[in-house]
Structure 1
Amino acid sequence: MKHTVITALFTAALLSLNINIAEAKTKSPEVDVVQPQSQHQSINININTASVQELVLLNGIGESKAQAIIDYRTSHGQFDSINDLVKVKGIGTKLVEKNKGVITL
């Protein structure tokens, strides 16, 4: 009789454990969803004063193009127009058009 009670308790414990394991496998983990921030989230970049770190925030501008903008600005003076950016080697009209909303003088 004692053996039967122990076996019954052991079986009940195992069944309970299996149910808990099954529940753990079916629960999806909690994940924090982070919404990406828009690149054009009210930023303005003055091309006459911006640093490399600021210029790389522009769409399509990496460190080398940012440095080219600064080098051009240093040797030719300030930009009179946003469209003057096309005078910088590697900067085309499409790139200027993509960024017109955030570029200032």
Structure 2
Amino acid sequence: MKHTVITALFAAALLSLNINIAEAGTTNTKSAEVGVVQSQNQHQSININTASVKELVLLNGIGESKAKAIIDYRTSHGQFDSINDLAKVKGIGEKLVEKNKGVITL
């Protein structure tokens, strides 16, 4: 009886350890993917006058809806004259522009 209980506890501990290792591997993979995207963004410039939604979402803090708002603004008002003009787009403030200044081009 003691042997069965000890074996069951040992098996449960091993199973728990395997699950934690599997979850840790998933987290590390996701972290690595985010790191690669961030690293690419640091070396890749994005022209806000020509970028597509797919390209604009690579900017820090820009999701699909803000990317579409940038394109809508650009369509309605013409090309951006300066990077700071991006703050004129609804939902995008000066802080967001500052975060991305090293990546944004015209």
TM-score range, shorter chain: 0.5 to 0.7
**1:14–1:103 Cα change, 3 Å:** closer
The Cα of 1:81 is off from its aligned counterpart by: 0.2
Conserved 8 A contact 1:39-1:57: no
- Among all aligned residue pairs of Structure 1 and Structure 2, give the percentage whose two residues are the same amino acid: 90
Flag the 1:74–1:98 CA change in 2: closer, same or farther, 3 A.
same
Greater Cα shift, 56-65 or 17-26:
17-26
**Which of structure 1's runs of 4+ aligned residues deviate more than 2 A?**
1-42
1:26 partnered with 2:29: yes
* Higher helix residue share: 2
Say if 1:6 and 1:69 are closer, same or farther in 2 by CA, change over 3 A: closer
Q: Which residue of 2 aligns with 1:103?
A: 104
* In 1: Cα distance, 2:57 partner to 2:30 partner: 42
RMSD of aligned residue pairs (Cα, Å) = 9.8
- Aligned partners of 1:14, 1:75: CA distance in 2, in Å? 61
Deviation at 1:60, TM superposition (A): 0.1
Q: Deviations over 1:13-67 (max 9, x none)?
A: 999999999999999999999998665567xx00000000000000000000000
* Deviates most, 62-71 or 27-36: 27-36
Q: What TM-score results when the alignment is normalised by the length of structure 1?
A: 0.61
Mapped partners of 2:30, 2:87: distance in 1? 55
- Greater mean alpha carbon deviation, residues 83-92 or residues 7-16: 7-16
The TM-score, its normalising length taken from structure 2, stands at 0.60
Gaps in structure 1 of 5+ consecutive residues: none
CA contact (8 A) 2:83 2:97 kept: yes
Q: Between Structure 1 and Structure 2, whose CA radius of gyration is higher?
A: 1
